[in-house]
Every structure is written in C-alpha cells, then in structure tokens.
Structure 1
C-alpha cells in the first residue's frame, strides 16, 4: 500500500548545504537539482541561504526561481525564515521584529511557497498580529519543535498553547522527529568515541539513551570539562537536537500539526533506529487525519561527507516504506 494522497514527501535544500558552502554552484541552482534529479517535487528552502539581500531578497530573483522550479515540475513547500533579535547591540522592539520578518514572508510568497517556518516560540507576541498578513499572502506559518522541545518542556509549553488558542489554519505546528529518537546515530557515536569521550558515557549513550538518568550524565560530563575539544560542538547535539520522547508524548498536539521534518542523521537502520520513529509517527498521523508535507532533512552532514543527493534519495525511499501501512 502507498501513503495517503494528502501526504506529500518533500526534500530539504538544507541537505545540500555542503555543496552551497563549496560555492561551485549557486544555492538556487543546487536547490533545483533536487527536482531535476527526480528526488522530490516539493522542496523546502532556507531564505537566508538562497539569496543575497536577506531579509528582503530581490523579487526578481525569487520569482525567477519559482518559474524555473515550476518548469522542472517542482514547487516550494515551506521556506525557513528567522527573526534577528538584535540590531547594533540592542534587542529589537516587536515592531522592528515584525518589520524584519514581513519582507521574508513576501519573498516566500513570491517563490511560490505554501508556508514559512520559524522556531517554536520565536514569533511570540507577534503571532496573532501576523494572521492578516498570512491571509493576504496565502501562507501558513509553521512553528517548528525539535529535540527536547516537547509539549511539557517548560521552555516551549506556552508556545504550544498559543498555537492552540489562536485556532487558525494560518498558524500550525511542525514537528521534527528528532524528538522521537529511540537510539543515537551509529556514526555519531563512533565520532564521539574516536574523539576521546569517556568510554563509560559512550556506553550509556549507546545502550541507555532513553533512560532519563543519561541526560544527567551528559550534563555532568559537560560541567566537569570532560568533553574533548574536537567533539565539543558535536556533543551539544545531545542537549539541543536529539530527543528521547515517544509518539504518545505528542498526542495532545497532533491535531495542531501541519507538517513534519523526517530528520535523519545517517542511514544505519539495522535495528530500526531510523525507520521506527517514521513508522510510529505515520500510524499516529493516520489516526488524526493529517494532511501536509513530510520533509527529508539530513542533519548528519555535520560529521559525514556522504553525497547529499544519494543520502536524500535513499532516505525518502526508506520513509516511503516505513510510512506505508503493513
């Protein structure tokens, strides 16, 4: 069986970031390759990565990208946008924050996007006031939660409540399945081990990731100065980007859901650590009548040098299989 017609598998242009950094081709050209190679017809893009002039890129460039993408048989699903909280060393006022965000919304609409994405809670008190502009531009604003940002997390609980209170189809939730990791990526653990992380902690991370006590051990080693310098940045993923929740922990917010990121790090799925969260969230989505995009987003480029197109294509194939009902 196949996935429901209301679900769209998409690919993120973030996956080709190493090629963007290499700068042999422009970011729009590289994003377009995901469609040209037949990997996906719907793609997510990051506004700040795509065009000069951020947060207000030239309309001619965003429109030209829309036209090129459409000619190749593709479209933009969601555009990643952001709010720069500071200007010249001082915090922006809410009016200034809105003025920083508004041209990004117009650029996303010009590129043909169905929606834009912000980290959950970042819009804050601006959210309700943005609804008329979202109506005007025919956009949905997705607030993205990932890693440890569950509905019960004190830092994000109010943001979930705000989406529910607004009760508008113009503001929806986007969940990243990095929240649902049954185990850590094999290649990530290997990198930490080679980097000299204490063997006992590596063992706990490998065998006891979902044990709440493991989180305490992670913090203890960090505070003690026991994290080797070469893997210090990677180590912080344990506190920010990697979650240990179950789908049941998200049941209360699934009716708010408009999109998902099928975050993956590597494709070592011998024990189902990649496919199981996809399969479990697929079951939950069927029960709630979900309609929206499920986007392949590769986070492992931080420590892997694999071909991003091949990784994305293989991941989407794995996702199709996991999402199809048994």
Structure 2
C-alpha cells in the first residue's frame, strides 16, 4: 500500500441494515450455463462476495414455477454449508393461461403458491413482485399463506414508478390499506439517477441513435423536455431496431427523482435495490444518491436489506460479475454509511 494514499475510514452501517448481493448480477454466466444456476448462486457466498443473497426463482431451476422439494433442499443445504442465506426471492406471476385467456385469481394464486413454498423451503425471508401486478384481491388471499410461511411479500417500484406517479401512488395506497407488515414495498434506486451512465450512452451511439439526442441525454437528463425528446424519437420511428429494447430503459428503468421524494413511503418499505449500471462515479453520479439515501433512511428508522443489483450487463459483456459486485458493495457501504452518519 502506498503510504502517501491513506485509506479513508468510514463509519459502520446501522445494525438494522443488511447489505446483500443479487444473483441477477450473474445473469450472463447463467446464460452461458458453464455451471448450474444454483452453483453460481452458492458461489456468490462461497467466494466471499456477500453472505446474504437475493435469487430469482425463474433463473434457478428449469422446473419453475414448481421446483421440487429435492431441488430446494439441495440448494438450501449447499448455501448453509457455504455460510450463506437468502434474503428475498424474485417470484413471477404469469397472468396468461393461453395467448388469449387471462388467468383468474384462483389460477393466479395456484401459480404463486408453489413459488412461495419453495422460497420458504430455501430459507428466504421474503418474495418480490412488481408493484400492482397482484392486485389487492389476490394480496388479501395471499396474506394467510405469507403468515404461515413466515414470508414478507415486497412489491417493487423502480425507475419512473415514483410515489408521485398517479398509477404508482394508487398501488401504494392499496398496499398501505392492507395494513399488514407481511406486505411491503421494495424501492429500486434506479429512481435516483442524476445522470445517465456513459457506458449506456456509448452503447446507444454504437447502435446508431441520433447524436443530437445523445448530446441532450448526456447534458440535460433531468430537464423535462429531454423526456419529450426521448418519446418523440420513439414515436417517429427514429430508434434503430438493434437498440430498441435498450432504448426503452429511458422510459422505464431510468428515473429522475431525489432521495427526499421517497420520504413518504419509507415507513412502508422493507428493502431497497441498490441498482447500478457501471461504476463510473464521475460527479458522484453513483455514490451521491446513495449518500442521500443513507441520510434519509437513518433519519426515518429504516430496517431491512439493501441489495447490490447490476443492470449494466445488458451492454457491458466484458465485466466480471464477482469483481464489479464486490466493488459496488464497497462503494455502497461507504456512501450509505457516510450519509447515515451525516444525518445524526
């Protein structure tokens, strides 16, 4: 170590906060299938990346949505042997029985229950669905099962699904009206993006997106007319086909809020996804939102998990998931702790 470069000391995280890593970060490795998805997930713990992990049930087993007890028990045993645990399981709700017929609530419940039982069997503390997808009638029917299985169901908001968005606000109000600690919010910090990642904009440029729009996205992401330009480009048919899916991140997954905008929902929130795309912290674009979040959570008495979730593997295919997750966890721990300490 260079004695001229002293190590910065950061305060510890509050005891009620648990920093975790999502197995979703290893999606490219899961796709390559050189190891099984359960082995990859256990490896996150065995390789000392993080002792507590989030997993996606649909990634773990091809038998999804009804994994066998044997599959679940084998995974749980391997994870415990490695010294790890599962925090939250990403479950899924397929609303369509056929391309033309939606499942009714009896069928939707039947689709979810095996996933809840498997999540309990692998020792998870909770399960996760997108905000509003279940709907209040199904949530009410799920409540006794959540209590029986000792699980919390988290409804996730992300990107531009801010608490100020009317549709999101209505879903949050419905969740609050249930008034059950087994039904809570999970907030993805993709809401808190003061600037767009250069790596993402470079990928759009390589894909042929207009240089004029890219210049605006680089310098004026937070301005309201920038989103008008994004929508206008999409409607005009000017988005090259090869980057159309990636382009939709601008409308869905990338937000423009501040941490303070979340204050009203923190009492309903039991978990956060610390979404990151790359680790270019120019102008503190990655770390400052986390400092602000740390200050907010410390001032509101938050208790729960904060999970490193990497979304940039969509366009950064040469990064090592273990390395980038370790580096993000280090950055996140420091930024959150600094923010928490500054609020006291």
Q: CA deviation at 1:273?
A: 0.8
Partner of 1:156: 168
Pick the aligned partner of 1:10 from 20, 32, 36: 20
Partner of 2:102: 91
Partner of 1:322: 335
- The runs of 4+ residues in structure 1 deviating greater than 6 Å are none
In 2, Cα distance between equivalents of 1:316 and 1:30: 18
Partner of 1:311: 324
Partner of 1:26: 36
Pick the aligned partner of 1:199 from 211, 215, 221: 211
User: After the TM superposition, which residues 68-107 of structure 1 pair with which residues of structure 2 at under 5 Å, given as runs?
Assistant: 68-89=78-99, 90-107=101-118
Q: CA deviation at 1:154?
A: 2.6
Partner of 1:137: 149
In 1, Cα distance between equivalents of 2:115 and 2:289: 32
- Cα-to-partner distance string for 1:246-292 (whole Å, 9 max, x where unaligned): 11222211110100000000000021111111111111110111111
In 2, Cα distance between equivalents of 1:56 and 1:304: 32
Q: Does 1:275 align with 2:287?
A: yes
Q: CA deviation at 1:193?
A: 1.7
Q: Does 1:301 align with 2:313?
A: yes
Q: Does 1:289 align with 2:301?
A: yes
Partner of 1:222: 234
Partner of 1:47: 57
In 2, Cα distance between equivalents of 1:194 and 1:88: 38
Q: CA deviation at 1:190?
A: 1.0
Q: CA deviation at 1:153?
A: 1.4
Q: CA deviation at 1:34?
A: 0.7
Partner of 1:110: 121
Q: CA deviation at 1:211?
A: 0.8
Q: Does 1:147 align with 2:159?
A: yes
Q: CA deviation at 1:198?
A: 1.2
In 2, Cα distance between equivalents of 1:257 and 1:88: 34
Q: Name the stretch that deviates more: 151-160 or 215-224.
A: 151-160
In 1, Cα distance between equivalents of 2:167 and 2:176: 16
User: After the TM superposition, which residues 52-71 of structure 1 pair with which residues of structure 2 at under 5 Å, given as runs?
Assistant: 52-71=62-81
Gaps of 5+ in 1: none
Gaps of 5+ in 2: 1-10
What secondary structure does 2:27 align onto?
A: helix
Aligned residues: 326
What secondary structure does 1:149 align onto?
A: coil
Pick the aligned partner of 1:186 from 195, 198, 206: 198
User: After the TM superposition, which residues 252-271 of structure 1 pair with which residues of structure 2 at under 5 Å, given as runs?
Assistant: 252-271=264-283
Q: CA deviation at 1:169?
A: 1.0
